[in-house]
Amino acid sequence: MTEEILINVTPQETRVAVTGSGVVQELLIERAASRGLVGNIYMGRVARVLPGMQSAFLEIGLERAAFLHVADIWQHRKSSSGEPAKPIEKILAEGEPLLVQVVKDPIGSKGARLSTQISIAGRLLVYLPNDPHIGISQRIEDEGGRQALRERLRELVPAEEKGGFIVRTLAEAATEEELRADLDYLRHLWSVIRERSVEGGATPPHLLYQDLSLAQRVLRDMVTVQTSRVLIDSRENFQKLAAFAQNYMSQVRSKLEHYTGERPLFDLYNVETEIEKALSRRVDLKSGGYLIIDQTEAMTTIDVNTGGFVGSRNFDDTVFKTNLEAAQAMARQLRLRNLGGIIIVDFIDMESEEHRHAVLEELKRALARDRTRMSVSGFTALGLVEMTRKRTRESLAHVLCQPCPTCDGRGEVKTAHTVCYEILREILREARAFNAREYRVLASQPVIDLFHEEESASVAMLSDFIGKPISMQVESSYTQEQFDIVLM
């Protein structure tokens, strides 16, 4: 499937959309005020070592301390191959400097996740300064091709090379000259980082290397032979990206185009509409069925429903077709929304084992084009499909939205009746504790209207019981759940 990559750049943010088969397949957004941290290399300082969790917190110059688990410490990995692995308190001490790399952005209330296993990505290779071995991307499945790539790289890497490399998927079609250029670029970059780390100004916490901008990473990681062109709607950024491509990936330069049309680029390709849809709980399917996607801190759940799709043959066939279409749609939604962590899918129940197997295979095929690492389990005893998707950055909803101030993220608010009864109970409590001349209720319009109409008798009864007048006042700025009782 041929792809087009659209890059919309403003001073405030960069947005990237990958389109294929006439629809948006993937969305990436990076804001100038909050660039992603994954790939950044810091000289950090150990703030706390927690033996009970076998973890440490490091200061790297962010608002929250970053998290380092013992399994992500290179010294721990190294010793695990022979003698017993050392506990974290034997490896790190509070106050000591440590060279670390961010492997996961801060998400929600959690700080950034760190590793001491440094890796620097090029277009064709990933350089591992601490790990002297040659690995091959898991996406290259042909064993013969994997071995051939390993041999090609060994011929280019001298035996005394201290570091190692991982061969990326794009290297399959690369020439020896391109591989050599990528090697030289990565070695030079690492030497610059090492020089910065030993300079006097690199006292921790200190940023030694910042990963490329989103637009540059897109050129490095996402432009493939299936990419027909890359459209950029900013002249200045087009020139910067063209120069970057010319220097580091000349084969990409010919695919870059400056978009000069009158209509905004994302409007022309209907991307703005797709962004709005990607923030909705409900995703409509062409057949009339729909998905309900709910994202929580621990996991994401996807529920499949037939909706208005009644089929033309029988119930089993209707359910099967809906589930097949849902499998394709949810794979795309995972990419669009960048949903990660644990994902639970509730397909419509299928009696046929053959249908269940076909739906699962369709889901795996649809997920195969995802650039993020995933694992899919079969159907559980309850008929659910469990999967995981690696989470390295915030989801689209967390980037673009915040919890609703009215419902505080619950997705629902108390009814006006519920708030009315809470107010009546609160007035009774206040009357028992204080001897006020009058009780004035400040609340939203729907609540006050209810007190004046349906619940007027309740207010009169309570006023008689406490022997004090109760007055009402509308506060237009209050949400339905907010209220105050003023003692006059």
pLDDT digit of tens for each residue in the chain (488 aa)?
789 999 999 999 999 999 998 899 999 999 988 888 999 999 999 999 999 999 999 999 988 999 999 999 987 655 545 566 788 999 999 999 999 999 999 887 789 999 999 999 998 899 999 888 888 988 787 888 888 888 888 888 887 788 889 998 888 888 888 888 889 889 989 999 988 888 655 578 889 999 899 999 999 989 988 899 999 999 999 999 999 998 888 889 999 999 999 999 999 999 999 999 999 999 999 888 999 999 988 899 999 998 876 666 678 888 999 999 999 999 999 999 999 999 999 999 998 899 999 999 999 999 988 888 899 998 998 889 999 998 878 889 988 998 888 888 888 899 999 999 999 999 999 999 998 999 999 999 999 999 999 999 999 999 999 999 999 999 999 999 999 999 98
Amino acid at 151: E
Q: pTM of the prediction?
A: 0.81
- Are β-strands 227-232 and 470-474 bridged in parallel, bridged antiparallel, or unpaired? unpaired
Instruction: Tell me the sheet residues that pair with 284.
Output: 290
Judge contact between 123 and 185, C-beta under 8 A: no
CA-angle at 411, arms to 273 and 473, nearest 5°: 115
